[in-house]
Chain A
Amino acid sequence: GESVGLHLPTLSVQEGDNSIINCAYSNSASDYFIWYKQESGKGPQFIIDIRSNMDKRQGQRVTVLLNKTVKHLSLQIAATQPGDSAVYFCAEISLAAGGTSYGKLTFGQGTILTVHP
């Protein structure tokens, strides 16, 4: 079935470095792509999303890039901090014919980001 997957299960960086987390997806009909951060003992927290008709979107210290040609999504975190250490998930959602998502997010497997001081 359709799925969203990640290339790398773990990523270790030094504080202050830029981090790039990658995600491959298979559903070309996805309408939105979303990045979530999950810290230990907590539920996923929304970071940023991008609509399928966009290539790039920037937030505070984060940038999401979407390459529909190769079905690839990436999250770039600038000046990574120890507080950024968490599991990062990409997710996709497809809207039904009436434009309703009916809540169904399809998640990738996750990447563990570890930031060393």
Chain B
Amino acid sequence: KAGVTQTPRYLIKTRGQQVTLSCSPISGHRSVSWYQQTPGQGLQFLFEYFSETQRNKGNFPGRFSGRQFSNSRSEMNVSTLELGDSALYLCASSTLRDSYNEQFFGPGTRLTVL
């Protein structure tokens, strides 16, 4: 079974631009979560989607948004990019609708904002 895939793997943008990152979960997984990883703040939760609905959101400004499609693929968008948005963006997928279950992470998208 293929793992979580993320595209693109690397991205360079300039301040003020917007960016869209894509995540394809493991087949059959309906929950997709997004995380931001930086050296200073570590891994921080952005949001989680299940069946096209955002169920949970972390403490990030409204410039960070996401969505999930009917095939469970998810995208996240960052508008009006700032230098501090440079990070590794990770998505993770899991199977169960409820309770806790293992999250499988993709390789991430490395975003550099110049």
Contact B98 A107 (CB under 8 A): no
A110/B42 contact (C-beta < 8 A), A99-B98, A102-B48, A102-B56 known: yes
B contacts with A: majority SS: strand
Among B31, B43, B50, B92, the most chain A Cβ lie within 10 Å of the Cβ of: B43
Interface string of B100-114 (1 = CB under 8 A from A): 111111111000000
Contact A98 B103 (CB under 8 A): no
Query: Which listed residue, B35, B42, B100, touches A93 by the CB 8 Å rule?
Result: B100
A contacts with B: majority SS: loop
Report how many residues on chain A are interfacial, defined by Cβ distance under 8 Å. Answer: 28
Report how many residues on chain B are interfacial, defined by Cβ distance under 8 Å. Answer: 29
Residue A88 interfacial (CB < 8 Å): no
Query: Which listed residue, A42, A89, A99, A103, touches B56 by the CB 8 Å rule?
Result: A103
Q: List chain B residues, Cβ under 8 A from A36.
A: 105
B residues in contact (CB < 8 Å) with A: 4, 31-33, 35, 42-45, 48, 50, 55-56, 58, 90, 92, 94, 97-108
